[in-house]
């Protein structure tokens, strides 16, 4: 154990193995008290990105109504990096990002939005670009100097590294960077992140990647239904400034119907998931925009109590999910996985409300309101659809 005198203030970027000595002496910034909202390039564009596309996404976010609905972060995922300079500084791909990352961050900020980037805690990113291993402090300082507000850090090429100590180094580096940066841990749920990630990051992935499919899984890529089921039991781990991340949205990418995308968006809001759109914002139809900007559903996602929903009933193809909200309201999703329309009900018991209590029930998609509802609520739910309501006790 080194004796820490003044020299310890100047820990070189390469001493990754000294993680035991890197206490998290600065607190985690409170910058994700509700789940982060934004856009990320990966689900639509994968490695086929450049500064024109990222600027286009920022323009569209600002002008389409998404910014007004609460979306903030414009995040470049993998493949923006090219190599490192002789002094170790990470370099953007000069062909795809000729103006440099700082100029792009400035542009995003000029739209009143925030800017995010991707890296990896191993030696390479999943796309084979330079990772941050051994460069954590240098990278964090570089990102801070560029004006980065959000960083997603992946788990490829990590060999036999231990997950919590690897991410501890990055947490420390970010906190020492001089800028408040949302830390999105992308470790795929492999090493029980619920036991260590909350103290380090603001959100952590709970599984491998989402794919744009209702129910077709493919190896490491999981369908909407698989990820939903995987997250159902994780509700106790999530809360303000430390969120379960069931992965980014596929709404608008074409692999599901609009009914299915409404289910995906509604249930992500019930899971208190980060709402990170993953479609082409510059080229989306009205149905997609209407889903992504449903303010009532977003208000559930962003509810300050920060409690993830629980699945309180399962009956064949139908389910009931309940999320307690600030002030005693309940968000409820009646969900139908089946191929035929079904009537689904929820009793006040399941909401932990007295049976005799009257409530007003607002359908968050049709916007219709029923007043004086007592004891239970039922609705017909379309195949693969949801009815999502907000229940407000009225005494």
Q: With binding defined as CB under 6 A, does residue 227 bind ligand GLA? A: no
Per DSSP, 40 falls in state E
**Shortest Å, Cβ 118 to ligand GLA:** 6
Q: With binding defined as CB under 6 A, does residue 276 bind ligand GLA? A: no
- Applying CB under 6 A, what is the total number of residues that bind ligand GLA? 10
**Shortest Å, Cβ 330 to ligand GLA:** 32
| Cα–Cα nearest to 250, from 299, 214, 287, 282 | 214
Q: What are the C-alpha distances in Å from 220 to residues 82, 190, 207, 211, 259?
A: 26, 12, 9, 10, 25
Binding-site member from 54, 140, 144, 186 for ligand GLA (CB under 6 A):
186
Q: With binding defined as CB under 6 A, does residue 29 bind ligand GLA? A: no
What token pair was written down for 375? 């004891």
**Shortest Å, Cβ 220 to ligand GLA:** 7
Strand pairing class (243-245; 203-205): parallel
Spot the catalytic one: 120, 154, 247, 301.
154
What token pair was written down for 207? 């599984």
**Shortest Å, Cβ 3 to ligand GLA:** 40
Q: With binding defined as CB under 6 A, does residue 127 bind ligand GLA? A: yes
Binding-site member from 50, 51, 78, 260 for ligand GLA (CB under 6 A):
78
Q: How many residues does the chain have?
A: 395
154 is catalytic: yes
One symbol per residue from 147 to 176: x for binding ligand GLA (CB under 6 A), - otherwise; what is it? -------x----------------------
What token pair was written down for 98? 């000729």
Spot the catalytic one: 120, 209, 212, 245.
209
3-state secondary structure of 100: coil
- Alpha-carbon gap, residue 163 to 167, rounded angstroms: 6
Q: With binding defined as CB under 6 A, does residue 77 bind ligand GLA? A: yes
**Shortest Å, Cβ 305 to ligand GLA:** 28
SS3 content of the chain, % helix, strand, coil (to 5): 30, 25, 45
Binding-site member from 22, 105, 126, 359 for ligand GLA (CB under 6 A):
126
Beta strands in 68-113 (DSSP E): 73-75, 81-84, 90-92
Q: With binding defined as CB under 6 A, does residue 251 bind ligand GLA? A: no
CB-based burial label for 375 (10 Å; 0-12, 13-18, 19+): middle
Q: With binding defined as CB under 6 A, does residue 212 bind ligand GLA? A: no
- Which are the contacts of 315, defined by CB distance < 8 A and separation ≥ 6? none
Binding-site member from 209, 212, 260, 301 for ligand GLA (CB under 6 A):
209
**Shortest Å, Cβ 154 to ligand GLA:** 5
Whether 257 and 351 have beta carbons less than 8 Å apart is answered as no
Count Cα atoms within 13 angstroms, Cβ side, for 56: 13
Per DSSP, 28 falls in state P
Q: With binding defined as CB under 6 A, does residue 51 bind ligand GLA? A: no
CB-based burial label for 165 (10 Å; 0-12, 13-18, 19+): middle
Locus of tokens 């002008």? 63
* Nearer to ligand GLA (CB atom), residue 47 or residue 287: 47
* Nearer to ligand GLA (CB atom), residue 90 or residue 289: 90
Q: With binding defined as CB under 6 A, does residue 136 bind ligand GLA? A: no
3-state secondary structure of 117: strand
Q: With binding defined as CB under 6 A, does residue 191 bind ligand GLA? A: no
303 is catalytic: no
**Shortest Å, Cβ 172 to ligand GLA:** 23
* Nearer to ligand GLA (CB atom), residue 127 or residue 338: 127
Residues at the contact surface with ligand GLA, assessed by CB under 6 A: 42, 77-78, 118, 125-127, 154, 186, 209
Residues labelled as active-site residues? 154, 209
């Amino acid at each position: 154990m080194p004796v820490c005198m003044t020299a310890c203030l100047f820990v070189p970027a390469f001493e990754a193995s000294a993680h035991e000595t890197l206490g998290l002496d600065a607190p985690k910034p409170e910058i994700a008290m509700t789940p982060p909202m934004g856009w990320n390039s990966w689900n639509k564009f994968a490695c086929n990105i450049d500064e024109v596309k990222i600027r286009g996404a920022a323009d569209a976010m600002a002008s389409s109504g998404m910014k007004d609905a609460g979306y903030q972060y414009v995040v470049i995922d993998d493949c923006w990096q090219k190599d490192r300079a002789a002094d170790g500084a990470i370099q953007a791909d000069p062909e795809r990002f000729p103006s440099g990352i700082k100029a792009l961050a400035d542009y995003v900020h000029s739209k009143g939005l925030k800017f995010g980037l991707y890296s990896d805690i191993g030696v390479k990113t999943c796309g084979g670009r330079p990772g941050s291993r051994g460069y954590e402090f240098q990278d964090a300082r570089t990102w801070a100097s560029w004006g980065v507000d959000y960083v997603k850090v992946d788990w490829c090429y990590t060999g036999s590294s231990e997950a919590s100590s690897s991410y501890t180094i990055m947490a420390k580096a970010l906190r020492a960077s001089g800028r408040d940066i949302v830390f999105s841990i992308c470790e795929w749920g492999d090493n029980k992140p619920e036991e260590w990630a909350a103290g380090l990051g603001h959100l952590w992935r709970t599984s491998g990647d989402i794919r744009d499919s209702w129910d077709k899984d493919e190896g490491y890529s999981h369908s909407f239904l698989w990820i939903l089921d995987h997250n159902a039991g994780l509700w106790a781990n999530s809360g303000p400034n430390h969120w379960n991340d069931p992965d980014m949205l596929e709404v608008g990418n074409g692999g599901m119907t609009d009914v299915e995308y409404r289910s995906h968006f509604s249930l992500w809001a019930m899971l208190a998931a980060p709402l990170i759109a993953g479609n082409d914002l510059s080229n989306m139809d009205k149905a997609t925009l209407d889903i992504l900007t449903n303010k009532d559903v977003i208000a559930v996602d962003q509810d300050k109590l920060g409690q993830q929903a629980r699945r309180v009933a399962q009956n064949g193809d139908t389910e009931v999910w309940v999320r307690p909200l600030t002030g005693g309201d309940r968000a409820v999703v009646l969900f139908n996985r089946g191929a035929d329309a079904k009537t689904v009900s929820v009793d006040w018991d399941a909401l932990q409300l007295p049976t005799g209590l009257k409530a007003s029930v607002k359908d968050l998609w049709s916007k219709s309101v029923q007043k004086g509802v007592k004891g239970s609520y039922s609705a017909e739910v379309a195949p693969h659809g949801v009815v999502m309501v907000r229940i407000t006790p009225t005494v």
